[in-house]
Structure 1
Amino acid sequence: MKTTIFTFIIAICSAFTCQAQELEKSLLWEISGNGLTKTSYLYGTIHMTCDATLDKNVQKALDDTKLLVLEIDMDDPSMQATMMKGVYMKDNTSIKDLVSAEEYVLLSKFIQEQMGMPLDALATMKPFFLTAMFYPKLLGCPVESYEAALMKVAHDQEEEVLGLETVEEQLSVFDAIPYKDQAADLLSSAQDNLAYDTNSFKKLMELYNSANIEGMITMMEDDKNRSTSKHMDKMLNNRNKNWISKIGDHAKTQPTFFGVGAAHLAGEEGVIKLLRKAGYTVNAVM
């Protein structure tokens, strides 16, 4: 009887250990099984970096696939015009409606110093996009893009580029996140003149460069100073769930290279574990 109970306890502990096991430190993952005849690949990108050179494993994966699928179809000639329409708040909302008069003065000074433009000219933009305008400064180098590097290879190989979601779907995320919360993040950036943002971005880049995708998602979940952790469902989880069937459809049609932000990969609601739950085998390429 004691042996049976001990065996049962070991089995339960093993099950929980397997569930809580961290993912390997890798940005490139093979997708196979579940009816796929050829291997597809999942790659975690970061949208801004100093050096977007693709390593030999990524190059080989691109050579072995016939389609590039990013978060959105960045080859769509109408993408930029559609994005411009989506950066503005709905219902004629202005930053003035979201902050106090004193805070608006602070933001105005900050925007003028950082961008050389009056806030009044930008006040109807979603605060998230105003914050995003400062991100290139956090790098401290000319900005490069992994998406652009991946697209260059696809173009050289005369392969199509598609998206897992439309531009409109991606932009709708920033209507779902309350403008008030976005404005609070922008105000925090202004109050310490980007000090917190600079430190956080540095840590994020260190995690990315070491392929620590678990660390990236943990950092986002634990960041109580920004609205990111409060709206993980809208920014990541819901989108991840919507992508799984689309990833399967593409991969079953032809071997496909999927490139999405690395923060989408890890976690219980991340793309890797969701694909595994859907029956696919997803292994790290080390």
Structure 2
Amino acid sequence: MNKLRIVRLLTVVMLIIFAAGIISGCTGKNKTGNGSGDPSAQPHATAVPDVSPLLWRVTDNAGHTLYLFGTIHVGDSRNDAVLERVAPVLESCDALAVEFDIIAYSKNTQQMMQDMMQYVLTDGSEVSEYMPPELYQRSYELLEKANTLPALFTRYNLAWWAQLVESAVLTVYTDLDSEKAMDSLLIRRANKKGMPVLDVESSSFQMTLLNSFEDELYLLLIEDHLDNTENLNSQLHELYDLWLSGDKDTFWTYLAGDDDVDAAEGQYTEAQIAMIEDYNRKLLDDRNLGMRDRAIEFLTSGQTVFFAVGAAHMANDVGLVKLLTDAGYTVEEVSY
């Protein structure tokens, strides 16, 4: 599965907001997995599984505890089983920490409008002027098919367009659902139990980050989303099944090895590879450092916090598990 999509599905919770059609001002509800009739989008017949995505307990020398849980930002009914399984651990904690509270955000129109303004073209130009005509037409047709064209859609920049195209691809070509995202389910359970929901980052941080790259990168993302739909549903289910399994070695190896940016095969130029590597580093490696610092803040506060962020933030040499271990904390995998 293409690394560009993996990084976002396992790191950027803002994707849920776009996929749900909350922030786009779209003409219809954009729900991932609409059963479009495309053969690759037909639901997988799956028995109720024994699901246990990876969970860790982090402790310091004073005995303070924090739990690390890696999420995926889409899902199906199996995430309900995950929630019930992990709920005793969640509910034993003082608070839930997430990338940011997407449930509260979906009700905060003022903040959404403030975040959106940076994506508006203010010089009178239109997004089609920044795209090859064929790419614009393909994008437009997909957004129409997904019923996700926002009002005044031509006035948004390429960064916004890339988010819309990605969410539309997920809507049309997959049967996994943004409304079943693990992040959303955890927040709803915390709200039901009266638990505080803490932000690790913020909506403004993620929106600004997603708007911080060169136009060439957004064009590459748009083209990548449009060109890689044929096996998307099966690839996404493979990723999802690995996450559900809790098999750390297999899952982390999959994440580490799934990098399609290979100039030797002619898929990308050297310049494009450099852009992709910068994109991946800023969305994953750099953010992990800030997340590590927030985890340490929560630990030293004395609260027991259930810290749930995208699963890729946990993995391998740049992940939170290793970063917190290297910082002197005890990190143990938990069976539940």
Aligned length: 260
Question: Aligned partners of 2:258 and 2:204: how far apart in 1?
Answer: 24
Question: Aligned partners of 1:223 and 1:283: how far apart in 2?
Answer: 33
Give yes or no for contact 1:40–1:257 (8 Å, CA) kept in 2: yes
Of 316, 324, 335, the match for 1:267: 316
Match of 2:211 in 1: 175
Q: TM-score, normalised by structure 2?
A: 0.67
In the TM superposition, 1:146-157 aligns within 5 A as 146-157=182-193
Q: 1:137 to 1:110 in 2, by over 3 A?
A: closer
In the TM superposition, 1:122-133 aligns within 5 A as 122=154, 124-125=156-157, 126-133=160-167
RMSD value, Cα: 3.0
In structure 2, give the amino acid aligned to 1:284. E
Question: Aligned partners of 1:26 and 1:157: how far apart in 2?
Answer: 22
Tell me the CA shift for residue 73 of structure 1: 3.0
Match of 1:13 in 2: none
Question: Aligned partners of 1:38 and 1:146: how far apart in 2?
Answer: 25
Which deviations, in whole Å up to 9, do the C-alpha atoms of 1:115-161 show, x marking residues without a partner? 37489725615133113322244441554121222123322332110
Q: 1:230 to 1:34 in 2, by over 3 A?
A: same
| Residue 48, structure 1, aligned to residue 74, structure 2 | yes
Q: Which runs of 5+ in 1 are unaligned?
A: 1-24
Q: Which runs of 5+ in 2 are unaligned?
A: 1-51, 269-274
Tell me the CA shift for residue 32 of structure 1: 0.7
Q: Percent identity?
A: 21
Give yes or no for contact 2:166–2:222 (8 Å, CA) kept in 1: no
Question: Aligned partners of 1:94 and 1:199: how far apart in 2?
Answer: 35
Match of 2:115 in 1: 86
Question: Aligned partners of 1:240 and 1:123: how far apart in 2?
Answer: 33
Match of 1:198 in 2: 233
Tell me the CA shift for residue 234 of structure 1: 0.9
Greater CA deviation, 82-91 or 142-151? 82-91
In the TM superposition, 1:154-233 aligns within 5 A as 154-191=190-227, 194-211=229-246, 212=248, 213-219=251-257, 221-222=259-260, 229-233=277-281
Of 97, 101, 104, the match for 1:69: 97
In structure 1, give the amino acid aligned to 2:70. G
Question: Aligned partners of 2:146 and 2:85: how far apart in 1?
Answer: 39
Match of 1:16 in 2: none
